[in-house]
Amino acid sequence: MRSPVDLVELPFTFTQQSLLTERSFIKEAGTRDVKLTPAMLEGLHRLRLLMPLLRISRDRREILRAQRQNPMLADQISHWEHTESWSLKEERRRGHVHDGVKFIARARLKRTLGSREYEASSFLYSPHQLMSLPRLVAGLPFLSYANGVVTGIDTGRHWLEWEQSFAATDRETAIAVSALEPIYLPEILRRLSMPATSEFDRYEVWRQRLKIGSPLRWLGVRPTWLRDTASQLLSRADRIDPLGPWFEVVREASPDRWKLLTGRARSAIDLRIAAECLLRYYEHLAKEGRAEPLPAKPEGRFERSDFEHRLRPKGGVDETLTRFGLSPHPAVLLVLEGPTEMLLVPRVMELLGLRTDDDFISIHDAEGVTKSITSLVGYAISPRGVPEENGKYLMLSRPPTRLLNVMDAEGRLATSAGRAKRKRDWVERIERALPREHRTPQMRAAIEDLVHIDVWKRDGSSFEFAHFTDQQLGDTIASLDNAPGRPSAAERTVQVATVRERQGNLKSVLKGISKPRLADALWPVLEARIEGAITRGTQHKIPIVRMLDHATELARGVPRQGVLLPIAD
């Protein structure tokens, strides 16, 4: 493996992730529940259990010369941390970048500048060296000290030699991943970082011109080393990851959320990121015929590949969430006629203590009985999944959503035959979204169970007439009407009664008063009615409560995982 010093000369190295000082490495270790001190980190270096990637030396003569001319500049030079790509390249040009493997006691590096101290050299770590922390934890309690400095470790010689070999291997892996990082880490983290805007175009040109074999020749390894090392990293991640199967959900999440993980879960992500860099390059080589393809996933349901728990998202978010009983898709899609219902139904749900989140009962405005929502029904309700048991069942990749459409009994929905036709049309639309081989009588029966049509009252009453008396409507409309020469409340009540008798539209009485405004004014009346009915135990006779009872029953009857729909007997 190449020296880490050579990394500095590669294009765009350390642009995606800056190197870590000893202080920042200790801080990052803390987020992984590994408590380190400067003395412990120095001791791990002395024992060759965790060796820094680089050492940056400072020019004493330059610092003293600056001190004579500009003390502030001298202070900056003596304390500057060269963790960024551009700074490292400059220090490499000046001969100040060295391999960090050689141990130098930190006390020997202390220098003074006026009243302040600085270090003649600083040690830097790669973020990828954080993946070594889980294997070091067991040995930390056995470190031995003298005058606050780690001088040894009270473990057997064989353990120390074994761990030292692991440390050397991990360091080589960190060098390899650092070399590949500018190429593949942006794909993994879904973010490209550059020190300046002008660098983005230069990066794209470099990326396009980069020859597939260049990194392999630079590293001096065979493609099988990439594959086997990645396999070992993934195996280590699986052994320590407390998330277990929940890793499948984390894998689909945005990479910037991975930083919220702590402890061993975060360390497992470190290992998986390193493995993924190696595997993406290996797959690139395999695609170009430079390496054998990765082994295919075993066909057995309970068998898995060495590479199954990679950090590459599988893309089936619905399928993944469904396996864990999670889904953003509603259990019930409640389709209502217009703004009055859209305003009052959520308030009644809160009054009854029902869940109002969209993944339980999602409310949709149909904007009247004449509007077509067939496309919405086809998208929201159509089953999605893969055949199981030789095509006998459809295993759903997302929980089923049931449709409950509650409208005024008017127009095409005025009769039971009209309502039956609407359900039939929607069932056929859902069927058309399925492959032809899945459009069987058994599947149709399952789909019919997903679609429900209802009205507020069978006698043709609109929502307002189903829930309020003529006087309640007349008094409320009169209170909202401020026009000169407006009818009295009694006259409004007569007008409302006439419209009810003719099964007409209440809009003819409103005269410029919007339905949402009327609904808002009627809410205290409906609220009092429902509360009174709850006291008497008769709330289920109120149409809106009856409808919500039905919606809740449908929603609670929908399993959130492991749902099979029959394709054949």
Per-residue model confidence (pLDDT) at position 333? 92
Site of tokens 């987020």: 31
Per-residue model confidence (pLDDT) at position 303? 56
What confidence tens digit (pLDDT) does each residue in 203-253 have? 999 999 999 999 999 999 999 999 999 999 999 999 999 999 999 999 999
For residues 43 and 164, what is the distance between their CA atoms, to the nearest angstrom?
13
Q: By the 8 A CB rule, do 333 and 401 touch? A: yes
For residues 277 and 322, what is the distance between their CA atoms, to the nearest angstrom?
29
Per-residue model confidence (pLDDT) at position 249? 92
Query: Which spans in 288-338 are helix H?
Result: 317-323
For residues 42 and 515, what is the distance between their CA atoms, to the nearest angstrom?
74
For residues 218 and 239, what is the distance between their CA atoms, to the nearest angstrom?
32
Helix (H, G, I), strand (E, B), or coil: what is residue 454? strand
For residues 462 and 392, what is the distance between their CA atoms, to the nearest angstrom?
44
Sheet holding 121-125, edge to edge: 20-21, 121-125, 54-57, 97-99
Helix (H) / strand (E) containing 78: helix 71-79
* Helix axis angle, 157-189 to 263-287, nearest 10°: 70
Task: Give mean pLDDT in consecutive 10-residue pieces for the chain, a chain of 569 residues.
Answer: 92 94 97 96 96 94 88 88 92 95 93 87 96 94 93 90 94 97 94 89 93 95 96 96 93 92 96 97 95 79 73 83 86 90 94 89 77 73 84 88 88 85 90 90 92 87 91 94 87 93 86 90 96 94 95 88 87
Please provide residue 99's backbone torsions phi and psi, each rounded to the nearest 5 degrees: -65, 130
Per-residue model confidence (pLDDT) at position 399? 87
Mean pLDDT for all residues in the chain? 91
